Amino acid sequence: MKKQTKLGQNFLIDHTIIKKIIQTSRINKDDVIYEVGTGKGILTTELCKISKYVHSFELDSILYSRCKRNLTHKNLELLNLDGFNEHLAIPFDVFFSSLPYYESRNAVTWLCQRDFRKGIILLQREFVEKLLSKPGEKNYRAISILSQYRFSIKMLLDVPYTSFSPSPKVESVLIEICPRTSPLSNKVIKDIQFLLSFRKKTISFIVNYFKKNYNRNFDGFDYNEFGKNKLVNLSPVDIVRFSTYLNNGTFNTKR
Ligand SMILES: C[S@@+](CC[C@H](N)C(=O)[O-])C[C@H]1O[C@@H](n2cnc3c(N)ncnc32)[C@H](O)[C@@H]1O
């Protein structure tokens, strides 16, 4: 079969790593799994053995048809659809995916809006570093703020490129994400993404910009709360609180 690099098709082939991924995932017998990227079904088969039900999505219709023929588990639904389709509303406990790099940001943003118990995701190391970037760092971006605010993030396992065929050029890391707030709305996400276009500006500059351009009244804004800091130096919680203030006029004190 011809490799479709546009869909990030690097398939896991190392059975020792596959076993480790399944073990460290700590999935329960009553978990419903939402898998994006069935591929050739190597992880899907293992997931069916240890969970209650698996909904597995695959965009590539050739791979989908091949799995439809070969995987006959009673607790499996295969779907030839985009797993991040906005109109799908299938409830699930565990999100599971070995993701192509180009889709990682989209996937994490999608997950920020969903209610679930945990996510087990295989990602390229550079993207994981971006997710975990700290205030002030070069890679501290909207996606770092959204993911650190919404999830606790733990690195579980290093996965070398030799575990895949074809081998990607970069290392991968298996991470676990566990929600620690309620899902974020699309508006909150968009507001934070917009605010981060001012990442190197000071808080007072941003307040004045919103005052002038959106005709907002920020009388009584307590600059001492943040000092004359640049936005990029604020913690994820403070950036979300600041964004809520700019857009709604109130501080969200609850996590
Ligand atoms: C890195 S491969 C992993 C395949 C398999 N899970 C494995 O570990 O060997 C990613 C798979 O996701 C599929 N894919 C990419 N984006 C997708 C999307 N939005 N929805 C469903 N499948 C997708 C690709 O066609 C590819 O088969």
Are residues 165 and 238 both part of a single domain? no
3-state helix, strand, coil in the chain (%, to 5): 40, 20, 40
For residue range 122-150, list pLDDT tens digits in order: 999 999 999 999 999 999 999 999 999 99
Number of domains within the chain? 2
Annotated binding residue at 103? Answer: no
Are residues 162 and 190 both part of a single domain? no
Range of the domain at 197: 186-248
pLDDT higher than 70, residue 4: no
- Out of 148, 179, 210, a domain closes at 179
Are residues 150 and 31 both part of a single domain? yes
Annotated binding residue at 37? Answer: yes
37 Cα nearest atom in ligand 1? 12
Are residues 110 and 207 both part of a single domain? no
Domain CATH code at residue 90: 3.40.50.150
pTM: 0.92
For ligand 1, is residue 142 a contact (CB within 6 Å)?
Answer: no
Question: In angstroms, rounded to a whole number, what is the distance separating the alpha carbons of residues 221 and 50?
Answer: 53
Q: Is residue 144 in some structural domain?
A: yes
In the numeric block, which tokens belong to residue 228?
């004359």
For residue range 174-206, list pLDDT tens digits in order: 999 999 999 999 999 999 999 999 999 999 889
The interface pTM score, or ipTM, of the predicted complex is: 0.99
Are residues 127 and 194 both part of a single domain? no
* Placement of tokens 């690195």 in the chain: 155
For ligand 1, is residue 35 a contact (CB within 6 Å)?
Answer: no
- Out of 179, 205, 228, a domain closes at 179
